[in-house]
Chain A
Amino acid sequence: MRTVSARFNSTTTPNPSNENSRPAQTHFGFRTVDENAKEDLVKGVFSSVAPKYDLMNDAMSMGIHRLWKDDFVSLLNPGRRGPIKILDMAGGTGDIALRMLDHAREKYADRDTSVLVSDINPDMLKEGMRRVRQTMYHNTPQIGFQVANAQELDPDIFPDNSFDLYTIAFGIRNCTSIPDVIKEAHRVLKPGGTFACLEFGKVDNPLLSQLYEVYSFSVIPMLGSILASDRESYQYLVESIRRFPSQPVFAQMIRDAGFTTGQDFSGQGGAWRDLWGGIASVHLGVKA
């Protein structure tokens, strides 16, 4: 039973003008930590949750995450215009990758679409590899696994303008610098390629939001301790959801990296689509 038990007490705000003083700070859930420490902390959390990740997702969302991921993949509709190359970032246990391949195969008889599953955490990738071994895609060129940092992709393995679709599902909020991730996504996508992000969002409806709050901060950490012996990691996860920018702010960050998005509303033609009242939402951007 591994727990994240780092204690960081500093609460100073970032000080970009003075490089000799302490490094810039960022948030880790509701705590404030050094920027260069966050990556290791997040790595610790995910190494800890990896073996029970899928079970916990089912328990925490009562299976609803499957519906969200199905919606996400249907929306992106891989295979409609022929086989494509997909980069599934923070792809960990392979939920999105396998759905993409199954969708292309079942709907369009497409056996050439390929997914490169990338994650910063090797333990999560190992879980993904284990799952792929149970499917027909094992040992085929349709699926590959690569350890990588979404903020700094190795240009030899991830060349410029090489992917048709970049997906990141429930991963971007754990990255230290979201703008860097989106910038790298922009670099590796072909012109006309799509950036698709499935992430937790802000809930507007006050009643739903209150229930969601109680559920997040009460039930989820308890489920974490009962099912996975790890209350602290799940406490971090629900805190990190609260820290993530709201849908309009995130849409603007996507535009800042050079993508074209829809207008600032939820739905067809909008920059995002809310799922279940905003608990999750899908952000889309196209590289010009």
Chain B
Amino acid sequence: MAALRRAHSTANLVLRATGSTTSRSVLPAAVNAGNRHLFSRAKPAYPGHWPLNTLENAFMAVGSGLMALKDPRRHDMVATLGETTAGYALPRMRDAMLASAEGRRILRKRPSVNSDTVDMEWLKTLPEGTFGRAYITWLERCGVTPDTRAPVHYIDDPELAYVMKRYRESHDFYHCLCNLPVNVESELALKFFEFFNIGLPMTLLGGVLGQLRLTPDKRHRLFSEYLPWALKCGGGTSKPLIGVYWEERWEQNLEDMKKELGIFDPPPAVWRRPLSEAAKARKNKLAAEKAAQERADLEAMGQKPPQ
């Protein structure tokens, strides 16, 4: 603990020397969330912050875990589980970021990743083999956008809340770097990878609980092929990916980047049809049915349906 504090103070000095203006707590947040006790909450520290006391945090952790298991499409519950079980992992992640100049730049500038900040059109013009081009190709191949991340609500320290947000937004970059699609087995493989690389408890929870829903042969493949890869690559050869400033590296050659970061490819995965196509078709059908029912209801209750 004392060593952590020393390391943090040193990092603090370095930051101040480099002209950082972010206000920073001297102690790790797990100690600084000493505003949070069994029955008392911290004060709201940023927009969207919903402080919880320790009992409430435990309740939310259990409740969101059960709900996420019951209905894995409840991304907000998965996000809540991640935040309520983060514990000491977030300060560790923040310290990993502080350890490199690149990570310190991220903490200072606090960039966001969404379709407003990422110029998708420009990425398409980048040459083959660059990270940016690979990323946009991956997005289109899987049919996802960088916009689906739930906001952070339950982390008391604003900087750690940003670290959590950054982790969530970087998830797709890990997908791209490791060349994994978005089906369940690949997501779980990536969760294990993230656990060995970053150490957030939720990633382990997600991997361990998520694999319960797999068929036996997929589970066997996950544990016999992907888990060793996750351990060797995520925990062994690769640098902490949380400190990578992705937005500065669009034009970097992908293979060079992987070598620099110590990533090697996992066993080949199954790539299916892009998510968006199937989802869109389903959505259209449901929307048409709903619209018909709504017109009938509105007429019955005395309102004119929109033309």
* Residue ranges of A at the interface with B (Cβ–Cβ < 8 Å): 1, 122, 125-126, 129, 145-147, 157, 218-219, 221-223, 225-227, 229, 231
A226 touches B56 (CB 8 A): no
The answer on a CB contact under 8 Å between A226 and B300 is no
- Nearest CB to that of A148 among chain B residues? B302
- Report yes or no: A122 in contact with B303, Cβ–Cβ below 8 A: yes
| Cβ of B31 under 8 Å from chain A | no
Complex Cα spacing A262 to B301, Å:
36
Q: Once the chains are docked, how many angstroms separate the CA of A237 from the CA of B297?
A: 27
Residues of A within 8 A of B56 (CB): 218, 222
Beyond A225-B76, A226-B67, whether A147 also contacts B301 by CB under 8 A is yes
Q: Which residues of B contact A126 (CB under 8 A)?
A: 294, 297
CB-based contact A222/B60 at 8 Å: yes
Are A129 and B297 in touch, CB under 8 angstroms?
A: yes
State whether A226 touches B64 (Cβ < 8 A): yes
Q: Is B87 an interface position by the 8 A CB rule?
A: no
Question: In the complex, what residue of chain B is closest to A226 when comparing beta carbons?
Answer: B63
CB distance from B239 to the nearest CB of A (A): 35
Nearest CB of chain B from residue A271's CB, rounded to whole Å? 34
For B300, give its contact among A145, A221, A225 (CB under 8 Å). Answer: A145
Nearest-Cβ distance from residue A218 to partner chain B, whole angstroms: 6
Tell which of A129, A147, A157, A222 touches B63, judged by Cβ atoms closer than 8 Å.
A222
- Nearest chain A CB to B295 CB, angstrom units: 11
Residues of A within 8 A of B245 (CB): none
| Bound Cα distance from A126 to B303, whole angstroms | 12
User: Could you tell me which residues of chain B, from 107 to 124, have a CB within 8 Å of some CB in chain A?
Assistant: none
Closest B residue to A221 by CB, please name it. Answer: B50
Query: Smallest CB–CB gap between B95 and chain A, Å?
Result: 30
Residues on B with beta carbons closer than 8 Å to the beta carbon of A221: 50
The interface bits of chain B over 24-66 (1 if a CB of A lies within 8 angstroms of the residue's CB, else 0) are 0000000000000000000000000010000110011001100
Task: Identify the closest chain A residue to B298 (Cβ).
Answer: A122
- Report chain B residues within 8 Å CB of A222: 56, 59-60, 63
B67 touches A147 (CB 8 A): no
Cα A1 to Cα B63 with chains together (Å): 18
Distance between B47 CB and nearest chain A CB, rounded to angstroms: 9
Give the shortest distance, in Å, between B301 (CB) and chain A (any CB): 4
Residues of the A chain whose Cβ atoms lie less than 8 Å from the Cβ of B300: 129, 145
Q: Are A145 and B301 in contact (CB under 8 A)?
A: yes
Give Cα distance in the complex from A65 to B50, angstroms.
28
**A157 with B60: CB separation less than 8 A:** no
Contact in complex: A229, B74 (CB < 8 Å): yes
- Give B154's nearest chain A residue, CB to CB: A225
Q: Does any Cβ of A come within 8 Å of B77's Cβ?
A: yes
Q: Which residues of B contact A219 (CB under 8 A)?
A: 59
Within the assembled complex, what's the spacing in Å between the Cα atoms of A129 and B60?
34
- Closest B-chain residue to A232, C-beta based? B50
CB contact under 8 A between A229 and B298, given known A122-B303, A222-B59, A222-B63: no
